[in-house]
A and B are shown apart, each in its own frame.
Chain A
Amino acid sequence: MAELGFKPVLLWSDALVFMLVIVLTIFFYRLRNDPQTRERWSQVFSSRLGMVAFTVIMTYVGVALLDSMHFRKALPSPAGVDTDEVFYDNKVTSVLDVMLDGMGDRFERTYSAPFALKSFEKSNIKDDQGNMVRDFDWLMHAGQHLADPSDKWLDVAQLSAIALAWGLAASALVVGLQWLLLRGSVYPWYASWAVQAGIICFMVWLVYVSHYYHVLGTDQGGADVAFQSIKGIRTGVLLGTLSTLVMLPIAVTLGVSAGYFKGWVDDVVQYLYTTLSSIPGILLIAASVLLFQVYIDLNPDYFSIGMEKADARFIALCFILGLTSWSSLCRLIRAETLKISQLGYVQAAHAFGVSHSRILGRHILPNVVHIILITFVLDFSALVLAEAVLSYIGVGIDPSMGSWGNMINGARSELSREPAVWWTLTGAFFFMFLLVLAANLFSDLVRDAFDPRVSGGRHS
Chain B
Amino acid sequence: MLAYIIRRLLYAIPILIGVNLLTFTLFFVVNSPDDMAASQLGAKYVTPEAIENWKRKNGYDKPLFVNDDASGIASLTDTIFYTKSLKLFAFDFGRSESGRDITSDVSTRMWPSLAVALPSFAIGIWVNICVALMVVMFRGTALDRWAVFVFVSLMSISYLFYIIGGQYLVAKQWMLVPISGFDPDFKPWKFLLLPVLVSVISGVGSGARWYRTLFLEEAGQDYVRTARAKGASEISILFKHILPNAMIPILTGIVVLIPSLFMGSLLIESFFGIPGLGSYMLDAIRSQDFAIVRTMVFIGSILYIIGLILTDISYTWADPRVRLN
Contacts and interface: CB of A to CB of B under 8 A. Distances in A.
Residue from the set B155, B158, B159, B297 with the largest chain A CB neighbour count within 10 Å: B158
Contact of A283 (B44, B149, B156, B297): B297
Interface string A435-449: 011001100100000
A416 B172 contact: yes
B66 to A, nearest CB: 24
A279 B38 CA distance: 27
Interface in A261-293: 271-272, 274-280, 282-284, 286-288, 290-291, 293
B22 to A, nearest CB: 7
A294 B158 CA distance: 29
Nearest to A409: B160
B111 interface: no
A286 B15 contact: no
Contact of B31 (A283, A291, A392, A395): A291
Nearest to B38: A298
Contacts of A293: 39
B158 to A, nearest CB: 5
Given A283-B293, A287-B297, A388 B266 contact: no
A287 B27 contact: yes
Given A295-B35, A416-B179, A437 B293 contact: no
Contact of B285 (A274, A393, A453, A457): A393
A412 B148 CA distance: 30
A394 interface: yes
B167 interface: yes
Interface string B1-42: 000000000000011001100110011001100011011000
B23 to A, nearest CB: 8
A95 interface: no
B155 A440 contact: yes
A278 B35 contact: no
A440 B148 CA distance: 11
Contact of A286 (B23, B36, B168, B293): B293
A397 B43 CA distance: 20
Interface residues of B, number: 52
A433 interface: yes
Given A278-B15, A429-B161, A294 B167 contact: no
A194 interface: no
A172 interface: no
B35 A393 contact: no
Interface string B232-260: 00000000000000000000000000001
A394 B158 contact: no
A408 interface: yes
Residue from the set B160, B172, B282, B290 with the largest chain A CB neighbour count within 10 Å: B160
Interface in A421-460: 425, 429, 432-433, 436-437, 440-441, 444, 453, 457
A381 interface: yes
Contacts of A394: 285-286
Nearest to A394: B286
Given A287-B297, A291-B31, A295-B31, A280 B263 contact: yes
Interface string B143-157: 000001100110111
B18 A275 contact: yes
B158 A444 contact: no
B35 A298 contact: yes
Residue from the set B22, B156, B296 with the largest chain A CB neighbour count within 10 Å: B156
A294 B36 contact: yes
B300 interface: yes
A291 B297 contact: no
Interface in B193-222: 217, 220
Contacts of A298: 35, 38-39, 43-44
B158 A457 contact: no
28 contacts: A271-B18, A272-B18, A274-B308, A275-B18, A278-B15, A278-B301, A278-B304, A279-B22, A280-B304, A282-B266, A283-B285, A283-B293, A283-B296, A287-B26, A290-B290, A291-B27, A291-B31, A295-B35, A298-B39, A298-B43, A385-B156, A389-B159, A389-B160, A393-B266, A415-B167, A415-B172, A436-B156, A441-B152
Given A272-B18, A393-B266, 18 more contacts: A271-B18, A275-B18, A275-B19, A275-B22, A279-B23, A283-B281, A295-B31, A297-B44, A298-B43, A415-B164, A416-B168, A416-B172, A429-B158, A429-B161, A433-B156, A433-B158, A437-B152, A440-B155
Interface of B: 14-15, 18-19, 22-23, 26-27, 30-31, 35-36, 38-39, 43-44, 148-149, 152-153, 155-161, 164, 167-168, 172, 179, 217, 220, 260, 263, 266-267, 281-282, 285-286, 288, 290, 293, 296-297, 300-301, 304-305, 308
Interface of A: 271-272, 274-280, 282-284, 286-288, 290-291, 293-295, 297-298, 300, 381, 385, 388-389, 392-395, 408, 412, 415-416, 420, 425, 429, 432-433, 436-437, 440-441, 444, 453, 457
| A-B CB proximity, top 9 nearest | A280-B300, A275-B18, A436-B156, A437-B156, A278-B304, A278-B301, A294-B39, A286-B285, A415-B168
